[in-house]
């Protein structure tokens, strides 16, 4: 747990802004979506990598500066200079000076410094002391789990990292088995990404091409019967309850460009329940198997 004040209470559903960067959707619809999510008072998750999402957000923010939501933004690079540049690339288009939560996406020498307790800690703490970034989350993928694991096992992460953020939904758990076990043992805070795993489970299972990789279609085949066991009428509600049934998860990040989609996320959050332990155990077993059989062998960015 880091020492820069207490971690803020994030909203249990965080609006993910990927869809705001989709320029096949009319600009006015995307700005309206952002305004709608803003008015609801939820946190936002964003990145310079999501097309013009930041510009869309700025248009929404300018309509009601009092309602500018707290943000998690992806910041990173292979050196501390690249990371500082990426903070500016996120904040400047939004005309903001402070990032409440920075999601550390570290590569190359910077990732190695993080894993081995190197100089990056001093530089990252300085960003906190200067009031530029409030808290840091460590982003994890199957191919970067080892970096987080080393930092955590050696105790380096304790003084800086407030939690871990990765794909965590019924079809994906993007932390290696070893890292996952340690996160659970230590009761670490987690933010779950991709609430609905990219869309309705039956669509992922049955519509050719709906799943962007074959492994997701194959997982949907295994997950659909478990979803049915839960007796929850819609996929979004199931997925929000799923994320919040995992110890340590404080929020789930999902994206939509439709107002009905946003309404579904809000309703699902309000009505969320803890799923039965026997059902969750079946998911934990699936996730452990997938992590060992598939995720552990994946080349970076292939899944």
Ligand X SMILES: NC(=O)c1ccc[n+]([C@@H]2O[C@H](COP(=O)([O-])OP(=O)(O)OC[C@H]3O[C@@H](n4cnc5c(N)ncnc54)[C@H](OP(=O)(O)O)[C@@H]3O)[C@@H](O)[C@H]2O)c1
Residue 179: φ, ψ to 5°: -65, -45
Q: Please name every residue paired with 139 in a beta bridge, in sequence order, or none if there are none.
A: 165
Stretch that binds ligand X, among 87-95, 126-134, 188-196, 219-227 (CB under 6 A): 188-196
* Residue 235 or 242 with smaller CB distance to ligand X: 235
Virtual CA dihedral for 149, 154, 155, 156, nearest 10 degrees? -80
Which DSSP letter does residue 199 get? S
The mark string for 89-118 relative to ligand X (x by CB under 6 A, - otherwise) is: --------------x---------------
Q: Give the nearer residue to ligand X in terms of CB position, either 59 or 116.
A: 59
In this complex, which beta carbon is closest to ligand X, that of residue 194 or of residue 205? 194
Least distance from ligand X to the Cβ atom of residue 229, Å: 19
Element (H, E) at 229: helix 214-230
Residue 19 CA to residue 116 CA, distance in Å, equals 36
Shorter beta-carbon distance to ligand X: residue 6 or 260: 260
Question: Which residues inside 118-137 make contact with ligand X, applying CB under 6 A?
Answer: none
Q: Which of 30, 150, 194, 205 binds ligand X (CB under 6 A)?
A: 194
Stretch that binds ligand X, among 35-43, 108-116, 126-134, 190-198 (CB under 6 A): 190-198
Closer by beta carbon to ligand X, 72 or else 120: 72
Considering the complex, what minimum distance in angstroms separates the CB of residue 14 from ligand X?
Answer: 8
Q: Which two tokens stand for residue 250?
A: 């404080």
165, two tokens: 């953020």
Q: Are the C-beta atoms of residues 273 and 241 closer than 8 Å to each other?
A: yes
The residues in 19-38 that bind ligand X, with binding defined as CB under 6 A, are 19
Site for ligand X in 230-289 (CB under 6 A): 235-236, 253-258, 261, 264
Q: What span, in angstroms and rounded, lies between the C-alpha atoms of 36 and 57?
A: 11
Q: Which residue is nearest to ligand X (CB)?
A: 16
Q: Which residue has the tokens 């999601």?
A: 103
**Given 12, 16, 69, 102, the residue binding ligand X (CB under 6 A):** 16
Contacts of 166 (CB under 8 A, 6+ apart): 139, 140, 141, 173, 174, 175, 190, 192, 193
Cβ distance 50 to 57 under 8 Å? no
**Which residues are at the interface with ligand X (CB under 6 A)?**
16-19, 45, 74, 103, 139, 193-200, 235-236, 253-258, 261, 264
């Amino acid at each position: 747990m880091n020492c820069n004040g207490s971690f803020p209470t994030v909203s249990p559903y965080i609006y993910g802004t990927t869809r705001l960067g989709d320029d096949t959707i009319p600009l006015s619809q995307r700005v309206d979506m952002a305004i709608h999510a803003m008015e609801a008072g939820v946190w936002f998750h964003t990145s310079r990598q999501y097309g013009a999402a930041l510009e869309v957000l700025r248009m929404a923010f300018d309509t009601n500066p009092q309602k500018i939501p707290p943000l998690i933004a992806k910041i990173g690079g292979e050196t501390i200079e690249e990371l500082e540049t990426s903070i500016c690339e996120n904040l400047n288009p939004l005309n903001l000076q402070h990032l409440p939560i920075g999601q550390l996406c570290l590569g190359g020498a910077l990732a190695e410094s993080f894993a081995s307790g190197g100089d990056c800690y001093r530089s990252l703490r300085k960003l906190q002391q200067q009031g530029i970034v409030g808290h840091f989350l460590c982003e994890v993928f199957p191919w970067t789990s080892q970096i987080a694991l080393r930092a955590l096992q050696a105790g380096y992460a304790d003084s800086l990292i407030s939690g871990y953020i990765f794909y965590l939904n019924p079809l994906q758990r993007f932390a290696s088995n070893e890292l996952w076990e340690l996160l659970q043992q230590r009761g670490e805070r987690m933010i779950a990404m991709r609430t609905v795993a990219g869309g309705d489970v039956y669509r992922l299972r049955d519509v050719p091409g709906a799943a962007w990789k074959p492994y997701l279609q194959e997982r949907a085949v295994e997950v659909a019967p478990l979803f049915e066991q839960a007796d929850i009428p819609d996929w979004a509600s199931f997925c929000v309850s799923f994320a919040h049934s995992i110890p340590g998860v404080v929020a789930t990040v999902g994206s939509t460009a439709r107002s009905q989609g946003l309404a579904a996320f809000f309703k699902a959050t309000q009505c969320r329940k803890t799923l039965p332990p026997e059902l969750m155990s079946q998911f934990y077993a699936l996730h452990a198997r997938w992590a060992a059989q598939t995720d552990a062998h994946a080349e970076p960015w292939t899944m």
